[in-house]
Amino acid sequence: MSLTRREFLAAPAALAATSLLPTGLLAAVAAETPALPDLSSWERIRAQFTLDPSYAHFASFFIASHPEPVRAAIDGYRRAMDRNPFHIIEQGLFEDDAHNVPLQVQTEIADYLGGRAQEVCLTGNTTTGLALVYHGLPLQLGDEVLCTTHDHYSHHESIRLATARAGASMRKIKLFDEAATATTESIIDALLKDIGPKTRVVGLTWVHSSSGIRLPIREIASALRARSNPGLVLVVDGVHGIGATDETIATLGCDYFCAGTHKWMFAPRGTGLVWANADNWARLRPTIPSFSDLDQYTAWEQDIVPTSPNNANRMMPGGFHAYEHQWATAAAFAMHKQMGRARVAARIRSLNDQCKAGLAANPKVTLHTPMSGDLSAGLVAFEVAGVKPLDVVKQLLAKRIIASTSPYAITYARLAPSLVNTPEQVERAVRAVREISG
């Protein structure tokens, strides 16, 4: 594809100017971008962030502060674009595979996911990814999409809007009454018993921002394959699992994995992905014209419908984006690979175990997140007797501790220990909750 990427969307005038194009965009940006720093200690890792040191930040999962490697990559691409926006973006998007920047980003992401570059669709966030998948599924009149009462607004609305257009239906079920006491077996049993003959799609959330529970997706996927309707599709909102757990996402067993990368992955704000294999991409119908799939563009030129199978690039939303952010996503995945997925997950688990144990020792605190690290990740949801969750968060803020409330009909206070925190900060937060509880 050494010429077709340049031919795709390139005007004749642009083609005539190819001899003027800067050579080696990736090499040029790399030359003025610092190498990854020493990330051998948690102190060195925390030093990559410019977070206000007068606060203890326990809401970094909401949207990440860009660490130094990501800031450097953004700045490198921004400087190049500001110097020569037409040539840099035209070359970066439509150059041969060896120089195509989105492909390099897809390759870096795929290596972390345990998949292949052609399985990765770049999006702007989890919401966009979920909408692309649900609106892309060939739902028909009478089909049912089964989800849970525990899912986020973006997941529910993506399903509702897609089923309304298709004449399909949406049904919500409870997987548990109380997340803190749920088990792998009880979750799977609750899901399987509610799958009906019209169920075509199951939508689940890997780590719930409502309660902090982490669903056993691998075990659920295995159970669905063994028992349920042939061809049943599993869609996963994985935003609070990727970057916080030690899992190979490409082998989890789900058909579509949607996640923003600007949370636990520390990628630039406004970035995300959908992962699926070739067969699952082929079953979808694109919603937004792509700038990344040559066949779609060629079919438009010939005034025909594309005849080749749908793919991740064809699902990738076209139009121009904040490319310095999208392209710098690779730096965040490279940083995570250098830190080590297992090492990162163990650190997050250790800090969250400490937080849960400290809160659980307080008789006036109700913990809603499972104590088991196998059924939780980086979020701890809790209540303080006699104090509204919002007031807990406000009082913690007065103590220079940034917490959050869960944006659901039933809301809890949340602490989310992450790589930007220390065990001492976790103890400080637990102590502050104890003071608030009286």
**pLDDT per residue as tens digits for the range 29-50:** 777 778 899 999 999 999 999 9
Predicted confidence band at 2 (pLDDT cuts at 50, 70, 90)? Answer: very low
Do residues 66 and 261 touch, judged by C-beta distance below 8 A? no
**Helix (H), strand (E) at residue 170:** strand 169-173
Predicted confidence band at 397 (pLDDT cuts at 50, 70, 90)? Answer: very high
pLDDT over threshold 90, residue 364: yes
Nearest to 309 by CA among 336, 335, 284: 284
Nearest to 208 by CA among 248, 153, 246, 129: 153
pLDDT over threshold 70, residue 9: no
State how far the Cα of 227 lies from the Cα of 233, in Å rounded to an integer: 13
State the pLDDT at residue 24. Answer: 65
State the pLDDT at residue 12. Answer: 30
pLDDT over threshold 50, residue 17: no
3-state helix, strand, coil in the chain (%, to 5): 45, 15, 40
**Mean pLDDT computed over 305-329:** 97
What's the pLDDT tens digit per position in 47-66?
999 999 999 999 999 999 99
Supply 347's token pair.
């650190």
- The SS3 of residue 207 is strand
> Angle CA(187)–CA(260)–CA(55) in degrees, nearest 5?
95
Predicted confidence band at 324 (pLDDT cuts at 50, 70, 90)? Answer: very high
State the pLDDT at residue 228. Answer: 63
State how far the Cα of 323 lies from the Cα of 88, in Å rounded to an integer: 10
State how far the Cα of 160 lies from the Cα of 174, in Å rounded to an integer: 17
Alpha helix positions (H), 95-145: 101-113, 126-136
Supply 245's token pair.
């757990």
State how far the Cα of 400 lies from the Cα of 376, in Å rounded to an integer: 26
State how far the Cα of 215 lies from the Cα of 312, in Å rounded to an integer: 26
- The CA distances from residue 29 to 32, 287, 314, in Å, are 5, 33, 27
**Which amino acid belongs to residue 238?**
G
State how far the Cα of 36 lies from the Cα of 338, in Å rounded to an integer: 8
Domain boundaries, given as residue ranges, for the chain: 117-338, 341-437
**Which amino acid belongs to residue 431?**
R
State the pLDDT at residue 95. Answer: 80
What's the pLDDT tens digit per position in 67-122?
999 999 999 999 999 999 998 999 899 888 888 999 999 999 999 999 999 999 99
Q: pLDDT over 90 for what percent of the chain?
A: 88
CATH topology assigned to domain 117-338: Aspartate Aminotransferase; domain 2 (3.40.640)
* Rg from Cα positions in the chain: 23
Supply 268's token pair.
């630039």
State how far the Cα of 263 lies from the Cα of 265, in Å rounded to an integer: 6
Determine the CATH number of domain 341-437.
Answer: 3.90.1150.10
What's the pLDDT tens digit per position in 130-170?
999 999 999 999 999 999 999 999 999 999 999 999 999 99
State the pLDDT at residue 34. Answer: 82
Do residues 415 and 355 touch, judged by C-beta distance below 8 A? yes
pLDDT over threshold 80, residue 385: yes
Do residues 91 and 22 touch, judged by C-beta distance below 8 A? yes
State the pLDDT at residue 32. Answer: 73
Predicted confidence band at 387 (pLDDT cuts at 50, 70, 90)? Answer: very high
State how far the Cα of 309 lies from the Cα of 262, in Å rounded to an integer: 30
**Mean pLDDT computed over 173-199:** 97
State how far the Cα of 369 lies from the Cα of 239, in Å rounded to an integer: 17
Supply 105's token pair.
């980003």
State how far the Cα of 48 lies from the Cα of 66, in Å rounded to an integer: 8
State how far the Cα of 419 lies from the Cα of 404, in Å rounded to an integer: 17
State how far the Cα of 230 lies from the Cα of 224, in Å rounded to an integer: 9
Nearest to 378 by CA among 326, 424, 342, 419: 419
**Mean pLDDT computed over 267-292:** 97
**Mean pLDDT computed over 341-365:** 98
**Mean pLDDT computed over 187-207:** 97
State how far the Cα of 185 lies from the Cα of 183, in Å rounded to an integer: 5
Burial-class residue 342 by CB neighbours within 10 Å (0-12, 13-18, 19+): exposed
Nearest to 89 by CA among 405, 322, 263: 322
State how far the Cα of 89 lies from the Cα of 304, in Å rounded to an integer: 28
State the pLDDT at residue 101. Answer: 94
Predicted confidence band at 368 (pLDDT cuts at 50, 70, 90)? Answer: very high
**Helix (H), strand (E) at residue 153:** helix 153-166
In DSSP terms, which residues pair with 367 in a beta bridge?
382
State the pLDDT at residue 35. Answer: 87
pLDDT over threshold 50, residue 10: no
**Mean pLDDT computed over 248-262:** 98
Do residues 313 and 118 touch, judged by C-beta distance below 8 A? yes
How many Å from the N-terminal Cα to the C-terminal Cα in the chain? 67
